[in-house]
Amino acid sequence: MEWETVIGLEIHVQLKTQSKIFSGAAVDFGQEPNTNACAVDLALPGTLPVLNKAVIEMAVQFGLALNAEIGYRSVFERKNYFYPDLPKGYQTTQLDEPIVGQAKVKIELEDGSEKTIRLHHAHLEEDAGKSLHEDFAGKSGIDLNRAGTALIEIVSEPDMRSAEEAVAFLKKIHSIVTYLGISDGEMSQGSMRCDANVSVRPLGQEEYGTRAEIKNINSFRFVERAIGVEVERQIDLITDGGTVVQETRLYDSDKNETRPMRSKEVANDYRYFPCPDLLPVELEESYVQSLKESLPELPDAKKKRFCSDYGLSSYDAGLLTQERPVADYFEEVATECKDAKLAANWINGELSAQLNKEDLEISNSPLVAKTLGQLITRVVDGTISGKQAKQLFETLWTEGGEVNQTIEAEGLKQVSDSGAIEELVNQVIAENPQQVENFRSAPEEKQKKMFGFFVGQVMKLSQGQANPAEVNKILKVKL
């Protein structure tokens, strides 16, 4: 039987505010436990929440960026449950009236095809603290630094049909929140976490299968793997005559498996009710409008512009605009060397391969944009060949240095002197009389193909140092 995978994502994004959503305590990752928690975060009696205006601004920007319905009226609710890292005994969140409503999100897949994933809604809520189990034998430590940090939770419809689509959706959301600057999107630090709801059904069946929810996956790679093993588990289970139960599961990346955490609570168990300490949030049209006008250029628009202004392919432009620092880097390189296509090739090729290999972000690239731009300039003006450029790139990558000085020091200049090249051409013609004869008697469209042979011979003779453009020019005349 053929199976179809169905996936819906719930993505938690930490908002990059200075203070927490309902208190004045600082939001700052990696501090001493409990140094960034105030009386409100500790839920001391008599404290009251005060809504952070920046949080509303960021959520509305997010909604506008997706062209979503904006919740002009949104309401905070209490979601009641007990857990040691939640001193209030409830999480303040939104349920029926969230700040961001439905939207359609376009994703692009490896093969170039596009797909639309529907957003169910996105709502604001506070994060909980952290329980620390490792440092205390037989006890747990509670760190409330994270308690009260602002989150936006983004809930998709179950519209994804493969792990690849889920990763593409997650990357799109990552790209939008980081372009907007409303989150640093650092998955490894937990600023962006993803719950994947996964089910399978026989291909062609309309009804959804029962889903399992895999909690708190913290990297793109793990999202892909977790979904992969979960789908396999469900299919095996059903094929063996079992049934999938609706539950929350945990992905263990060391063992590459998912295992049960707890059975999923029914929403009713949380006894949601509107928080009496917080007024409904009502937005004015002019406020939303002014935020709309101040939105930065977003990935889709940038991609379009890269295609039209720089003449890039949709594929190249897509790669370059996924993350804003890469797009900025590209524009700097292109401005420096004035050859956008070469700039794109170098960044999507050599540079991105090296960054991947060493697990570096582009902001930490040993070659800054200006340097790569200068390197490409020397290729464009014929000082160095493509092959020599790769060698130069490697030297600059490992040893640093300035482009022109390194070209001199490494003796990387290609031979452009027409007299020297002419000699090489004469030699090749003299050594290959039969090929020359064949070439001269061939019809024109065949000559084009045969020409490459002579270029190759001259390049070989020059040990790759001859300027190919010059070689072409002289060969044409001589032949």
Nearer to ligand ADP among residue 11 and residue 291 (C-beta): 11
Burial class (CB in 10 A: 0-12, 13-18, 19+), 351: buried
Q: Which three-class secondary structure state does DSSP give residue 467?
A: coil
Alpha-carbon distances of 458 from 245, 414, 445, rounded to whole Å = 70, 13, 22
Query: From the CB of 356, what's the least distance to ligand ADP, in Å?
Result: 31
Nearer to ligand ADP among residue 267 and residue 279 (C-beta): 267
Nearer to ligand ADP among residue 8 and residue 129 (C-beta): 8
Nearer to ligand ADP among residue 156 and residue 183 (C-beta): 156
DSSP-derived letter for residue 350 is I
Does 156 bind ligand ADP (CB under 6 A)? Our answer is: yes
The rounded distance, in Å, linking the Cα atoms of 266 and 120 is: 19
Nearer to ligand ADP among residue 9 and residue 340 (C-beta): 9
Nearer to ligand ADP among residue 121 and residue 378 (C-beta): 121
Nearer to ligand ADP among residue 269 and residue 417 (C-beta): 269
Q: In the range 282-321, which residues lie near ligand ADP by CB under 6 A?
A: none
Contact criterion met (CB below 8 Å) for 119 and 104: yes
Query: From the CB of 7, what's the least distance to ligand ADP, in Å?
Result: 6
The rounded distance, in Å, linking the Cα atoms of 348 and 319 is: 7
Contact criterion met (CB below 8 Å) for 13 and 136: no
Phi, psi of 13 (to 5 degrees): -120, 125
| Residue type present at position 439 | F
Query: From the CB of 218, what's the least distance to ligand ADP, in Å?
Result: 18
**Of 5-13, 45-53, 99-107, 235-243: span binding ligand ADP (CB under 6 A):** 5-13
Which stretch of DSSP H or E encloses residue 60?
helix 53-65
Query: From the CB of 147, what's the least distance to ligand ADP, in Å?
Result: 22
Contact criterion met (CB below 8 Å) for 75 and 94: yes
**How many Cα atoms occupy the beta-carbon half-sphere of 351 within 13 Å?**
28
Nearer to ligand ADP among residue 91 and residue 348 (C-beta): 91
Q: Which of 384, 430, 414, 418 is nearest to 454 (CA)?
A: 430
Q: How many residues bind ligand ADP, per CB under 6 A?
A: 16
The rounded distance, in Å, linking the Cα atoms of 35 and 417 is: 69
Q: In the range 225-264, which residues lie near ligand ADP by CB under 6 A?
A: none
Pattern 181-220, ligand ADP, x by CB under 6 A = ----------------xxx--------xx-x---------
Nearer to ligand ADP among residue 267 and residue 301 (C-beta): 267
Q: In the range 91-110, which residues lie near ligand ADP by CB under 6 A?
A: none
DSSP-derived letter for residue 267 is G
Query: From the CB of 176, what's the least distance to ligand ADP, in Å?
Result: 18
Pattern 9-38, ligand ADP, x by CB under 6 A = xx----------------------------
Does 39 bind ligand ADP (CB under 6 A)? Our answer is: no
Burial class (CB in 10 A: 0-12, 13-18, 19+), 444: exposed
Does 158 bind ligand ADP (CB under 6 A)? Our answer is: yes
Tokens of 377: 């300039």
List of residues contacting ligand ADP (CB under 6 A):
6-10, 155-158, 197-199, 208-209, 211, 267
